[in-house]
Amino acid sequence: MEKRLIKKDALAGIAKKMAEKLHVWAPVKKEDNVLFAPLKKDNEPFFAYLNSKNAPKNVFFPHTETMMKYTRTPNGMVFSSEENKADEAVLFGVRPCDAHSFVLLDKLFDQEKYKDSYYISKRQNTTVISLACVKPPYSSCFCTSVDGEPVSADGADILLTDIGSDYLVEFITSKGEKLASYFGETKADTVAETKKNEIAVKAKDAIKSKIPAHEIKPILDKNFDNPFWNTIHGKCLACGTCTYMCPTCHCFDISDEVKGSDGVRIRSWDSCMFPLFTKETSGHNPRSSQKERWRQRTMHKFKYYVDMFNAIACVGCGRCVMSCPVNIDIRKIVEDISKL
């Protein structure tokens, strides 16, 4: 597909121009963090960022969302409306690891039999513009160990790569091409392409943190009862931060809220790290301690997801590594498992 060049200082202007017509999510500074937020008149996109504090999965799978509404009648509460509309949107400037997470989440939410229309409608109506990592943002980045690359169009409709004075703009899908008019007229030449390819190779080499993520599947297949599982959870606070930060964690709770004569059914992120997550009414809990919960989290990412969808449910963003208050490091867990 087509490739163009834009001047580096033009990027913020393009995002703001899009925001005049479309719902644009872009990285913006909020106190000390960079977060993806809707671009409005009172905020500025900030593209010189490393990665956003939170994964942008909330664009398709909000932290809390209304599934439907209901109303009190003389016969009790009755269904009143389904809440399932998605505006045309652009997710502008996500890192390739996070764009990769969308491909992984699609496998779960967009299955043949049960389609999650809340996720799918937002996903279908959103154009993803990835901003390649020409230098690895953090020393904890390990995307190359989990099928990712710092300069990658996986999951993106448009890929932007900083090639010095310009961004190379690659339209990856026809959905991305529909936004081509925002990106000027300058066609990219082969020089720009060569430069981008060199940058991609260098960026890949610069990812120094490597884990044997692919090697541990057969080990996990055989080691559900290994005493190793006693060694991870001792210091875990069960805060759930790792799961909330994770771009691929998708577990949720469904609950009802009533106010006056109206009510809503909502879904909110939940976490396998929480004791109540699997606790049954009888009191029985199949994952009764933090040991079982850590085994579940590890197995889910590196075995169960592979069994179900033939893909590792980790994109190597390193958010869980950086955010864990007690420094539990998934890279070390994977490393240790590889030696079992």
Q: Which residues bind other proteins (CB under 8 A)?
A: 67-68, 70, 73, 75-79, 82, 84, 108-109, 111, 113-118, 120, 224, 250-256, 258, 263, 265, 267, 270, 272, 277-282, 286-287, 292, 296, 299-300, 303-304, 307-308
CB of 255 to other proteins, least distance (A): 6
CB of 148 to other proteins, least distance (A): 22
Nearer to other proteins, 82 or 205 (CB): 82
Return all residues near 76 (Cβ < 8 A) that are at least 6 apart. Answer: none
CB of 304 to other proteins, least distance (A): 4
Give me the sign of the Cα torsion angle 323, 51, 91, 108: negative
Nearer to other proteins, 182 or 277 (CB): 277
Residue among 321, 317, 239, 285 at smallest CA distance from 57: 317
Question: What does the CA dihedral 294, 300, 303, 304 come to, rounded to 10 degrees?
Answer: 140
- Rounded CA gap, 236 and 242, in Å? 11
Nearer to other proteins, 197 or 268 (CB): 268
Nearer to other proteins, 46 or 304 (CB): 304
3-state SS assignment for residue 232? coil
How many helical (H) and strand (E) elements, i.e. helices and strands, does the chain have?
11, 11
Nearer to other proteins, 71 or 197 (CB): 71
CB of 89 to other proteins, least distance (A): 19
Nearer to other proteins, 181 or 282 (CB): 282
CB of 226 to other proteins, least distance (A): 12
CB of 224 to other proteins, least distance (A): 5
- Rounded CA gap, 229 and 332, in Å? 13
List helix spans (H) across 207-289.
217-222, 241-245
* Structural tokens at position 131: 């901003």
- Rounded CA gap, 54 and 35, in Å? 6
